[in-house]
Structure 1
Amino acid sequence: MVVHSINHVQLPFPAGAEGQIRNFYNSLLGLPEVRLQAGSALRFVAGTQRIDLVPTEQWQPVPAVSHLAFEVQDLPALRGRLLQAQLPLVENRALPGYLRFYVKDPAGNQLEFLEPDLDQ
């Protein structure tokens, strides 16, 4: 047996925040939504992987140390969209060889966005 990739990750969000979650992942991040007939989870595609967001009645924020990291192309454009949406970015955690920042989604899930720094 060989594990060769991650199929999907699942993150919680407070029930009733579907509109905010859809706007963030689809409109701001540009991830296509996959609509399935069964269930109330929201599903988005990132490359060959999927991000499932599940509404939770007893929602509690995930600890800050937990996060999902996305490797992206054109990090400055994404940064600009998120800043234009007035989302606070954390940009003080250098990683040699990469440009990166962190942002929280509307449910408080911490997300990391990084891109290889080709100028180094």
Structure 2
Amino acid sequence: MTDEFAFERLDHVQLDIPAGAEDECRAFWSGVLGMTELAKPPVLAARGGCWFRGGGVEVHLGVTPDFRPARKGHPGIQVRSLDALAERLAAHGHEVRWDGDVPGRRRFHSADNLGNRLEFLEPGPAATEA
């Protein structure tokens, strides 16, 4: 921590998508997860991709020419009713892989329609500053 500035919260996370995959993104982020699609500013909309928001979480999906799904790097999205989300993902054909490796945290990994890794977790013990 410094006296010059302080971190407040993560504004958004961006994941890569291939060109033309916006409808697949809409099917997952809006259709499965129930997030609302946001209008992108015109100059950014011309580049393709799409943005979504649900609760305090915002996800930007940006077109990259040599798309490869993120297999290790991922957003960690905190949710209420983790079991209900796991059931919803499974019902829509998305694998849910529970992970007990972090003591005191219930979490699982899944993937979007394009194979990008996602982590969903319940609130855990209050974080302490280092």
Q: TM-score range by the shorter chain?
A: 0.7 to 0.9
Q: How many residues align?
A: 116
Question: Shift of residue 22 of structure 1?
Answer: 0.8
Where has structure 1 moved over 4 Å in runs of 4 or more?
none
8 Å contact kept, 2:18–2:67: yes
Letter in 1 for 2:56: T
Partner residue, 1:113: 120
* Partner of residue 14, structure 1: 18
Residue 80 (structure 1) aligns with:
87
- When structure 1 is superposed on structure 2, of 5-14 and 90-99 the one drifting more is 90-99
Contact 2:22 2:49 in 1 (8 A): no
Unaligned runs of 5+ in 1: none
How far apart are residue 95 of structure 1 and its match? 2.6
Structure 1 counterpart of 2:98, from 80, 91, 114: 91
Residue identity matched to 2:73: S
TM, length-normalised to structure 1: 0.84
Percent identity between matched residues is 34
Q: Deviations over 1:61-83 (max 9, x none)?
A: 22x32111111011111111111
TM-score (norm 2): 0.78
RMSD over aligned CA atoms reads: 1.8
* Structure with greater strand share of residues: 1
